[in-house]
A = this chain, B = another copy of it.
Amino acid sequence: MVSPWKTASVPGLQLGLGCGFWICRSYRFLFRAGAMGPHVVPRQLVWLSRWQAVCAWGASVQHRTWAGVSRIPSLLSSGGALSSSPLVCRSSSSTPPGAPEVVLTQQRYPVTRLPFSVVSSEDLAAFERILPGGVVTDPEVLEASNVDWLRTVRGCSKVLLRPRTSQEVARILRYCHEKNLAVNPQGGNTGMVGGSVPVFDEIILSTTLMNRVISFNSVSGTLVCQAGCVLEELSRYVEERGFVMPLDLGAKGSCHIGGNVATNAGGLRFLRYGSLHGTVLGLEVLADGTVLDCLTSLRKDNTGYDLKQLFIGSEGTLGVITAVSIQCPPKPRAVNVAFLGCPGFAEVLQTFSSGKELLGEILSAYEFMDAECMWLVTHHLRLASPVQESPFYVLVETSGSRAGHDSEKLSDFLEQALSSGLVTDGTVATDQTRLKALWALRERISEALSRDGYVYKYDLSLPTERLYDLVSDLRARLGSQAKHVVGYGHLGDGNLHLNVTSEAFSPSLLADLEPYVYEWTARQRGSVSAEHGLGFKKRGVLSYSKPPEALRLMQQLKALLDPKGILNPYKTLPAQA
């Protein structure tokens, strides 16, 4: 059989990442033959393994850390969506130069402050005794912790606490519980739903200085660390020891592992390594000052109820995660990424089935994006598409222990996908630089969207076969009201990121979107928050995915674990009637 794939070297191709991080000087493509030239048959994709040998995998990826990047003032000041949002105005002095100030959440949203105490000078003195030098009241410093990275919500906390130990956290919480002071736990502040910043004047309890690795077992791959360790730094740490973290996020450069666990972060390795409910082995959690030591490093432990599960995904509303024990899988020796063009969504799904069959245990990611997403990243970020224009694109990643075997499997998969017409064009990368370039096309969509105008963001779980119908439906429903209606996401996990942009915030457009999107999702028994959580902004929509009995039990659990409701108030659960 003749393969329609060929390899071609394209020296000096500039991928133009828009922020000047790097230029790819030698990029190798696999083109589909046809108008572009004759067929070449690299049956075993032998060059894959040649490249593999000289390329380390998994080092830090600066341009993937959008959360970190987005908080660089010069990027924020470049205009676009942020300045056109009704959530921003220009009055404060504490924002970065040129960046418009974010409207206070309490002014923007219909939310009422609960009767918590207000921090007094006596309280500050008490905190100073617990944390000498760790109490921050400087408004300039506080500003970054009061505003979310998307710059959509803003609290007015007057104090930021930076403990270094679990014992300090315990003492702080015991004090706050006694004094009825509300507390907003904060990790890297990279959340998407306003869960990590105060709504009013809650005390911000930051894990920034709790960034110590406690232990690592190089036989079992069990990592135990404090909650404030940055994901990317942990990745580097375990990769030097032959393992990888079981999760990877665009925000890895800023997000804290404690925050990842508190929000049950999904991300890019979910397809391969599964949920944190499976990979987190232990937690050390504090509710009203009590240290609940569940920091086991055991893979199996059936002694009573698995309490740590309660806190995974509870967004800091049931306890504060101060340390994490997590199972790290062995580091794959070979990683390949294929970026493919598909003629329709049906072909995207069929290519996924074919990938599962032919790539088997080495399939580690299956992401998709539509043509409008590609337009956004090429237009706003000046990235270059490595494949011919297509209605849909998929990114397929393999991770395995043996390069030769992996390239054979990948070659067979690509050959079948192309010969059967599921895929019309594609390119494959195996070395770090090229892998990053392909991943950037998928990962920087969020950044491109924010440059397109005001963004209405939805993070949904849907049955894969219906996943794109909602995007098409909405495009027809909204017509010219919207600039773009785009769909992309972790198709392998049934997770759609649906985004709609408009020049500026429009109440009538919002009224056409909500509750329509939530009702559509509920009819499919989908989830109105697949991986982003509910935080402050989505807490009102929980009932689209959960029955009243479940909500009632959640409220009972909240009352049990945090009877005064001081932990991250106004988050996760809907406001009580």
Contacts and interface: CB of A to CB of B under 8 A. Distances in A.
A292 B550 contact: yes
Interface in A239-279: 263-264, 266, 270, 274-275, 277-279
Contacts of A304: 534, 542, 546, 550-551, 554, 572-573
A298 to B, nearest CB: 4
Given A274-B278, A401-B359, A409-B401, A305 B313 contact: yes
Given A279-B278, A330-B360, A530 B401 contact: no
24 contacts: A220-B463, A294-B550, A297-B525, A298-B527, A299-B495, A300-B527, A300-B531, A301-B461, A301-B529, A301-B530, A302-B527, A304-B550, A304-B551, A306-B309, A306-B313, A309-B312, A332-B361, A360-B400, A361-B399, A401-B409, A402-B408, A405-B405, A553-B561, A557-B560
A461 B281 CA distance: 13
Given A220-B494, A292-B549, A550-B293, A557 B305 contact: yes
Copies of this chain, complex-wide, total: 2
Interface in A279-320: 279, 290-294, 296-307, 309-310, 312-314, 318
Interface stretch (A5-13, A197-205, A226-234, A350-358): A350-358
Contacts of A405: 402, 405, 408-409
A102 B116 CA distance: 60
A494 B298 contact: yes
Nearest to A539: B304
Interface string A455-488: 0000001011100000000000000000000000
B550 A307 contact: yes
Interface of A: 217, 219-220, 263-264, 266, 270, 274-275, 277-279, 290-294, 296-307, 309-310, 312-314, 318, 330, 332-333, 349, 352-353, 356-362, 399-402, 405, 408-409, 461, 463-465, 490, 493-495, 525-534, 541-542, 544-547, 549-551, 553-554, 556-557, 560-561, 572-573
